[in-house]
Structures are given as structure tokens and as C-alpha cells.
């Protein structure tokens, strides 16, 4: 008779692996090992592209399920851009008895990225089409420095 192998036995051998560490790398409270592994396997969300042109940075984030761009709060602090919002389930308020399969993301999300160059916060423009949020930020050219913190898309 063979003993069934526990996949979490390997985690016991990693030094300093505790709830604070798991909370830091997953962004969630420790609930159960299956939930943790599921979160680790999902990667960062929403997925995004960061493109640099001669004069601007373009951030494109795939966030299907929003009604409009203003459903996402964007905050720029120095070179840190944060996307914060919530995708409300389409079944909310309907008489759903049982969900058999759910693969699309829903609920709250928060993602912060470090921009590779300084940008003008007042130049930020955002659009949302076909599930893609696009944020365009003009680069600060030369030795200008800007430290203004803004919220936009209200």
C-alpha cells in the first residue's frame, strides 16, 4: 500500500515560509492551500502591456467586463501607476441557482506597476474599448522632475 504524497510537504523545507510571506507574494490572506496555489497560478491581474514610444508611455490592460473606463480608478505617484477597480458579476441580482463553471475573473482588483521613466501626470489620457483599458502618459524629457500625485478618470 502506497502513501499518497502531500504536495505541501515540500513547503515545510523552505525557511521563513509563513503567513506573512504568503500574504506578501499573493496579496491575499491565507485561507487554504488550494486557494493559495490557485492564486499563484493565475499570475498578476489584470494582464497588461507597457510600451514606450519616443514621447509617451502606453499602458494597455485587458479588463473585460467593465462598463466604461471610469470604472477603474487610476492613480499616479511618481513613477508608480495603480489600477484599482471591480468587475461586478453579470449574475448579480439575477435568480441564478447554480454556476457550473466560472473562468472569467470578477470582483475587486488592484495592480501597481513601476513605470520605467518619469511622466507628466496632467497629460494622462485613458480610453476603454473592447475590454482593453489604454492609458497614455507623456514622458518627461530632459531633466524635468514632477512629483504631483493625481487621480483621474472620475
CATH number, domain with residue 83? 2.60.40.790
Instruction: Name the residue range of residue 16's domain.
Output: 1-43
Shared domain check, 52 and 88: yes
pLDDT score for 40? 53
Return the minimum-mean-pLDDT range out of 27-36, 41-50, 90-99: 27-36
Into how many domains does the chain fold? 2
- pLDDT band of 69, cuts 50, 70, 90: confident
Of 137, 135, 154, the closest CA to residue 146 belongs to: 137
Shared domain check, 100 and 118: yes
pTM of the model: 0.62
Ramachandran class of 131: left when φ > 0, alpha when ψ lies in -120 to 50, beta otherwise? left
Cβ atoms of 62 and 132 closer than 8 Å: yes
pLDDT score for 53? 94
Pairwise CA distance, residues 14 & 30, whole Å: 17
Amino acid at each position: 500500500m502506497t502513501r499518497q504524497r502531500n504536495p505541501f510537504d515540500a513547503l515545510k523545507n523552505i525557511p521563513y515560509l509563513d503567513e506573512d510571506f504568503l500574504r506578501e507574494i499573493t496579496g491575499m490572506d491565507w485561507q487554504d492551500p488550494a486557494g493559495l496555489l490557485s492564486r499563484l497560478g493565475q499570475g498578476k491581474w489584470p494582464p497588461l502591456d507597457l510600451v514606450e514610444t519616443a514621447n509617451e508611455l502606453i499602458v494597455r490592460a485587458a479588463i473585460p467586463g467593465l462598463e466604461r473606463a471610469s470604472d477603474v480608478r487610476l492613480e499616479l505617484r511618481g513613477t508608480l501607476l495603480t489600477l484599482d477597480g471591480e468587475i461586478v458579476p453579470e449574475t448579480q441580482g439575477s435568480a441564478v441557482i447554480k454556476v457550473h463553471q466560472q473562468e472569467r475573473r470578477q470582483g475587486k482588483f488592484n495592480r501597481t506597476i513601476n513605470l520605467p521613466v518619469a511622466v507628466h501626470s496632467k497629460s494622462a489620457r485613458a480610453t476603454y474599448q473592447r475590454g482593453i483599458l489604454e492609458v497614455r502618459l507623456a514622458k518627461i524629457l530632459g531633466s524635468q522632475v514632477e512629483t504631483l500625485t493625481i487621480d483621474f478618470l472620475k
